[in-house]
Amino acid sequence: MSVPESIARRAAELREQINYHNYRYYVLDQPEIPDAEYDRLMRELQRLESQYPELITPDSPTQRVGAKPAEGFGEVRHLIPMLSLENCFSEDELRSFDRRVKERLGRTGAVRYCAEPKFDGLAVSLRYEQGYLVMGATRGDGYVGEDVTQNVRTVRSIPLRLRGESPPSVFEARGEIFMPKAGFEILNRKLAARGEKTFVNPRNAAAGSLRQLDPAVTASRPLAFYAYGWGEYQGIELPEFHSEMLEQMRQWGFPVSHEVKVVQGIEGCLAYYMDMEKRRPELPFEIDGVVFKVDSLAQQEILGMTSRAPRWAIAHKFPAQEEMTRLLDVEWQVGRTGALTPVARLEPVFVGGVTVSNATLHNMDEIERKDIRIGDTVVVRRAGDVIPEIVAVVKQRRPADARKIELPKKCPVCGSDVVRGEGEAIARCSGGLYCPAQRKGSILHFASRRAMNIEGLGEKLVDQLVEKGWVEHVDDLYRLTASQLAKLDRMGPKSAANLIESIERSKNTTMPRFLFALGIREIGEATAKLLAEHFGTLEALEKAALEDLKTEKDTSLKPEQRYPRLQAVPDIGPAAATHICHFFSQDRNRQIIANLLNVGVHWPPVKAKREGPLTGKTYVLTGALDHWTRDEAKAALESLGAHVSESVSKKTTAVIMGKDPGSKLDKARQLGVPILDEAAFETLVKGT
């Protein structure tokens, strides 16, 4: 049977593509396509070659395991080849593996398997002579790998010497070097902070870290190792089972995962697969499937191997968490504070078990760092319940007409200017409450349970109220009538009356809730409470904010010296103070507050935090005291009702000075604030 021309062409194309991706993956450590895509290419070629064996060329990528070793490391020949594993993706395929095993063994009963996680890292062989680590090598193409001895020696979980009285004279341990998830996150954060390239996933990070010509770099990376097999050995007898040998290796000091289990037959395998898939998100390391190995070493011997993989093992892979698709467009969502978030619209793709058509792009910095453009082919990742994200761009597939993603100059919802502060990642709509998106967000926040707690006022209702123009600002909520509400979608007279009642009830609130409900940026619940305790009344807070505003443009002051009244409140720094000042400086905001008070929003007087002889007094500590730690001194003052502030202002009652006082002392002198030494401080706290 001759091979149809189109099939021969396709096979050649696949060979070329696969060879190229092997090179990217094994030599450059820079894969361009997700594993799932690579697997598909390989399977397609394998299928064509099994249909038309005359297509098989000696250099076909199906005829070997990996690719050439990179230049830079010495070569290591594996006396016993480091084979890869046959993959399967479904229960059916796993069942046919089990059937083949039974047929070859000529038995009908359940086969005993050793079930292992499939670690997602890079395979290495570690050679020990007389118990000492003498060589570490990567898999390479399975026959020749790279000498990474100096690098593996830096991996702390790899024993440099075997434990026990009589170690084998020669032993090659095989297993996976990988980067635990937590270490990967930290490493990427560090790299990003230094402006260096981050890694796409823990596997690439592990490969990139191990294959460093400078072992000092490897040493600084959080790598780990698990053993799951062996190569050459001399001077020992093998036990009956693979799992027993792993136990023996554990005795010699190799890390062997506690997730390794012996299971019986195909049913045992399927149960193990399901259990690991469920627990995958909580494991501290990445796995991309599970591996089943015929546990009896005698049976392994009978089964033998093909040129690429043992016939006694199979990897049952989880659905891919990364897939490729096209970025169709980017839309900008506007949040309550006006923050613009880019959202990627994708050509729908099945990834991580669901169809994904949107992914977050976080912010403009992220887009620029990854150089993402509209029209690009991108790698989308969806792991567990995490929001799908774009991890990388396949640059080689960038179409000529790919468009740069631009931060809109105008808010897509209200058309106001978009502003992005110097050095800030987040851009915002400057429309404030004029912007319907911000208005809806701020109304929902105002009504939320921990703010004004207006029960029954949800997103759908707020959308309608804003769109109909009935509620422009939060004070409008208190002018709604039951007959008006009853006209809205999915609202009967009863639910309208209930809503009016809960709006009415919300008028009776507390000052912290009210302050929190206003939605001033960076003013969360805790800060709202501190503000209320510090200022006691809204008038006092407003007055402080307007006074403090005058210090904003005073460049002779350091940021921490500006806004002294607001910054006298614990936890409030220059950024939060700026937001408070700006909020109260807007006539529109003050008008809304006045309206809210007019319609009857009220709260009981605020109790000062602690009543005591020093209530109303504010102290600042500077320098080290001999007999008190800073926290002890602060606690002593607070227990008497005083407030201890971080910065000196005219309101400061006194500054308490220890050894090596800082600039706060100068500030106190400048402002004529009394200064107490340690003795005077002790008289104050003990005598009062």
Of 45 and 291, nearer to ligand 9MJ (C-beta) is 291
CA distance linking residue 488 with residue 481, whole number of Å: 12
Strand order in the sheet with 224-234: 132-138, 122-129, 170-178, 224-234
Q: Which two tokens stand for residue 231?
A: 């190569």
Q: Does 565 bind ligand 9MJ (CB under 6 A)?
A: no
Of 178 and 478, nearer to ligand 9MJ (C-beta) is 178
Q: Does 116 bind ligand 9MJ (CB under 6 A)?
A: yes
CA distance linking residue 609 with residue 514, whole number of Å: 18
CA distance linking residue 611 with residue 616, whole number of Å: 9
- The answer to whether the CB of 94 falls within 8 A of the CB of 266 is yes
Q: How far is the CB of 318 from ligand 9MJ (least distance, A)?
A: 13
Q: Does 140 bind ligand 9MJ (CB under 6 A)?
A: no
Cβ-based burial of 588 (10 A; exposed 0-12, middle 13-18, buried ≥19) = exposed
How many C-beta neighbours within 10 Å does residue 60 have? 18
- The answer to whether the CB of 330 falls within 8 A of the CB of 322 is no
Of 61 and 229, nearer to ligand 9MJ (C-beta) is 229
Residue among 25, 119, 184, 252 that touches ligand 9MJ (CB under 6 A): 119
Task: Give the contact letters, 662-681, x = binds to ligand 9MJ (CB under 6 A), - = no.
Answer: --------------------
Q: Does 291 bind ligand 9MJ (CB under 6 A)?
A: yes
Query: Which of the residues 69 through 88 are near ligand 9MJ (CB under 6 A)?
Result: 83, 85
Q: Which stretch binds ligand 9MJ (CB under 6 A): 113-121, 295-303, 443-451, 651-659?
A: 113-121
How many C-beta neighbours within 10 Å does residue 196 have? 9
Of 32 and 116, nearer to ligand 9MJ (C-beta) is 116
User: The tokens 């960038």 sit on which residue?
Assistant: 398
Task: Give the contact letters, 308-327, x = binds to ligand 9MJ (CB under 6 A), - = no.
Answer: -----x--------------
- The answer to whether the CB of 128 falls within 8 A of the CB of 52 is no
* Helix (H) or strand (E) run with residue 3 in it: none
Report the largest interatomic distance among the alpha carbons of the chain, rounded to a whole angstrom. Answer: 107
Q: Does 205 bind ligand 9MJ (CB under 6 A)?
A: no
What is the C-alpha end-to-end distance of the chain, expressed in Å? 106
Q: How far is the CB of 120 from ligand 9MJ (least distance, A)?
A: 7
Of 315 and 429, nearer to ligand 9MJ (C-beta) is 315
Q: How far is the CB of 50 from ligand 9MJ (least distance, A)?
A: 22
* Residue 118 known to be catalytic: yes
Task: Give the contact letters, 211-240, x = binds to ligand 9MJ (CB under 6 A), - = no.
Answer: -----------------xx-----------
**H helix intervals, 358-477:** 364-370, 436-447, 459-467
CA distance linking residue 229 with residue 634, whole number of Å: 60
Q: Does 259 bind ligand 9MJ (CB under 6 A)?
A: no
Q: How far is the CB of 460 from ligand 9MJ (least distance, A)?
A: 48
Q: Which stretch binds ligand 9MJ (CB under 6 A): 112-120, 142-150, 457-465, 671-679?
A: 112-120
Q: Does 512 bind ligand 9MJ (CB under 6 A)?
A: no
Q: Which residues of 362-394 are buried (b: 16+ CB within 10 A; e: fewer)?
A: bbbebbeebebbbebbbbbbbbeeeebbbbbbb
Residue closest to 290 by CA, chosen among 305, 279, 306, 301: 279
CA distance linking residue 352 with residue 302, whole number of Å: 37
CA distance linking residue 530 with residue 546, whole number of Å: 18
Of 121 and 441, nearer to ligand 9MJ (C-beta) is 121
Amino acid 546 reads L
Q: How far is the CB of 193 from ligand 9MJ (least distance, A)?
A: 32
- The answer to whether the CB of 618 falls within 8 A of the CB of 651 is yes
Q: Which of 102, 118, 293, 617 is catalytic?
A: 118
Of 115 and 614, nearer to ligand 9MJ (C-beta) is 115
Q: Which stretch binds ligand 9MJ (CB under 6 A): 114-122, 278-286, 435-443, 485-493?
A: 114-122
- The answer to whether the CB of 145 falls within 8 A of the CB of 76 is yes
Q: How far is the CB of 160 from ligand 9MJ (least distance, A)?
A: 23
- The answer to whether the CB of 152 falls within 8 A of the CB of 211 is no
Amino acid 409 reads K
Task: Give the contact letters, 148-177, x = binds to ligand 9MJ (CB under 6 A), - = no.
Answer: ----------------------------x-
CA distance linking residue 541 with residue 576, whole number of Å: 14
Q: Does 145 bind ligand 9MJ (CB under 6 A)?
A: no
Of 119 and 516, nearer to ligand 9MJ (C-beta) is 119
Q: Which two tokens stand for residue 601?
A: 């929003």
User: The tokens 């009538």 sit on which residue?
Assistant: 481
Query: Treating both helix axes as pointing N-terminal to C-terminal, what angle do 678-687 and 630-639 enclose, rounded to 10 degrees?
Result: 40
Q: Does 428 bind ligand 9MJ (CB under 6 A)?
A: no
Q: Which stretch binds ligand 9MJ (CB under 6 A): 116-124, 272-280, 425-433, 562-570?
A: 116-124
> Could you tell me how many residues of this chain bind ligand 9MJ (CB under 6 A)?
10
Q: Does 179 bind ligand 9MJ (CB under 6 A)?
A: no
CA distance linking residue 517 with residue 392, whole number of Å: 39
Of 116 and 323, nearer to ligand 9MJ (C-beta) is 116
Of 205 and 465, nearer to ligand 9MJ (C-beta) is 205
Q: Please report, as ranges, the residues that interact with ligand 9MJ according to CB under 6 A.
A: 83, 85, 116, 118-119, 176, 228-229, 291, 313
Catalytic center residues: 118
